[in-house]
Amino acid sequence: MKENEITRSKRGVGAYLLIVLGLLAAGMLIWFILSYNTLVAKEEAVKTAWSQVESNLQRKVDLLPNLVKTVKAYAKHERDLYTKIAALRAQAASVLKESSSGPDETRLAKLDTLQKALRKQTARLFAVAENYPVLRSSEQFLQLQSQIEGAENRINITRMQFNEAVGDFNRYMRTFPASIVAGFAHFRRKAYFKAAPGSEKPLELNL
């Protein structure tokens, strides 16, 4: 009789432990899934924000040939400037077309350097136009100037939005339990797209 009671008691304890272990396993699985899904969502937000940066960088790159052509019609002697802009534009277009699952630190550094150089040469181009009143007041030039300045502004805005998304992802990835899930699922810290000094200011026309 006592042996039967002991056996039933052991079975009860065993069943209780199995239930507890099952609940713990289910809780851990739910915890893992929720953390993983949040990491995926935040990573997608980073990629979406980056696509907006790329789009605006590409827009600026696409506008430069028309600007050069317009200025060149009046200032044919600025060959060195036109050559520099063409070379920088080609490099920027090449980096933008690079296949990548996301912007890594090396690619961001390249783009930042090229963006800074393009900005400087574009400002020089506007300065050249200042010497030609007819060019400076032409509708085509004014439209291009407005479009390029608009692209510059959008680059700065989308750069900030991208960096905010990167910061949100990186902060979440460092928290517990997301840090464990991130390591297990091979999520990596994202790089920021640092702005070149003075990039938040409008292009100067008189250099």
Q: Could you report the per-residue pLDDT of 49-82, keeping only the tens digit for each? A: 999 999 999 999 999 999 999 999 988 888 899 9
Q: pLDDT at position 45, please?
A: 96
Q: Which two structure tokens, joined as six digits, stand for 62?
A: 């696409």
**Which residue, 199, 20, 37, 31, is CA-closest to 118?**
199
Residue 111 vs residues 53, 57, 62, 96, 100: alpha-carbon distances, Å: 11, 9, 15, 8, 14
**Which residue, 135, 109, 123, is CA-closest to 64?**
123
Q: pLDDT at position 98, please?
A: 76
**pTM beyond cutoff 0.85:** no
Task: Give the domains, in start order, of the chain with CATH numbers.
Answer: 35-184 (1.20.1440.20)
